[in-house]
Amino acid sequence: MSLILGSHISLNQKSKYLLGVVEETICNGANCFMIFTGPPQNVKRVDTSLFYKEEALELAKQHNIDFSNCVVHAPYVFNLAGLDTDGYIVNILQSEIERTVSLGIKYFVVHPGSFRESKDEGINNIVRNVLEVFRRTSHLDYFFCLETMAGKRNQIGACLEDLQLIFSKCNWDPKLALCLDTCHLHDSGYDLSKLEEFKKKLSNLFGGLERVKVIHLGDSMNPIGAKKDRHANYGLGHIGWETILKWAYDDYFSSLPIIVETPYWKKQVKSKRSKETREILVSPYKHEISLLRNKKWEPIPDKDCLPIYIKE
């Protein structure tokens, strides 16, 4: 069984945008990726025609990376559960979806957002915003994947029933899909070790598992139900390696793009100009992806790298 594994990769001019993304994906031993189409904290965007798309596609083809298995994450500059009085939310979403499709990517992941006055009001705002986005993008082929959330403060999406209500109010539009985040699900109170029980609940709520299109696979720093949203490296958190592996190789989930979501390691390095040391962050993705492919947990290969968190 060949898993579709990837991670978030930075899209930037220095590494030639998409070409650099594909190169890093190959280096990590991955066969998919997740990107933001620009900085996640603002709406400044470079035209996708400058992304070295053709060169990236050619390199991807040589390494069996299919862009249709890749993911774009929406930026963090709007609240989907907010009242969109001036069209700001919908305009951003429309633009991001158009950019996503122009790259040959069909999975677009969005946080449901947080309510202000009441959850019902927030859900109604989500439905209103999503339906308007669907009206504007009806001619495009993509999936609008609402991500499960950890339940911090007034977040919507920590409860599967809330997401099911959104789907229902959106008339079960075929574009509407789910992105399951294991850290978020665990932190919101779901026991992920009971996978078959969880899948049965999911199937009952959504008429099967087909609405699930993307998996964000990460361990958690926190006990179940903590509502914290703090990711941990594989095998070092409260979800545990066996459960992570069970999710990765599940009969259905293993056919989906699985995005590794684990924190960077810390490493102390000596300055070239002085004897002082400084802390840098090191990507764990090549190692974490190899763990999943080999179905065997191994410690961090660089003894000088330390995880941010280890479960006691």
**Residues of the binding site for Zn(2+):** 73, 111, 147, 181, 184, 216, 229, 231, 261
Structure token pair of residue 61 = 């083809």
Contacting residues for 296 by C-beta, under 8 A, at least 6 apart? none
SS3 readout for 236-251: CCCCCHHHHHHHHCCC
* Residue 288, φ and ψ in degrees, nearest 5: -65, -40
Which residue ranges make up the annotated binding site?
73, 111, 147, 181, 184, 216, 229, 231, 261
Taking CA atoms, 209 is separated from 204, 212, 266, in Å, by 9, 6, 37
The structure tokens 């290969």 sit at 301
Residues 153, 154, 156, 160, CA torsion sign: positive
Collapsing DSSP to helix, strand or coil, 258 comes out as: strand
User: Residue 133 has which token pair?
Assistant: 């986005």
Beta strands 265-270; 277-282: pairing state? antiparallel
Q: Where are the beta strands (DSSP E) in the chain?
A: 4-7, 34-35, 71-73, 107-110, 143-147, 176-181, 212-217, 219-220, 231-232, 257-260, 265-270, 277-282, 305-306
Which residues on adjacent β-strands are paired with residue 277?
270
C-alpha distances out from residue 162 to 81, 155, 165, Å: 12, 11, 5
Identify the burial level of 181 via C-beta atoms within 10 angstroms of its C-beta, where 0-12 means exposed, 13-18 middle and 19 or more buried: buried
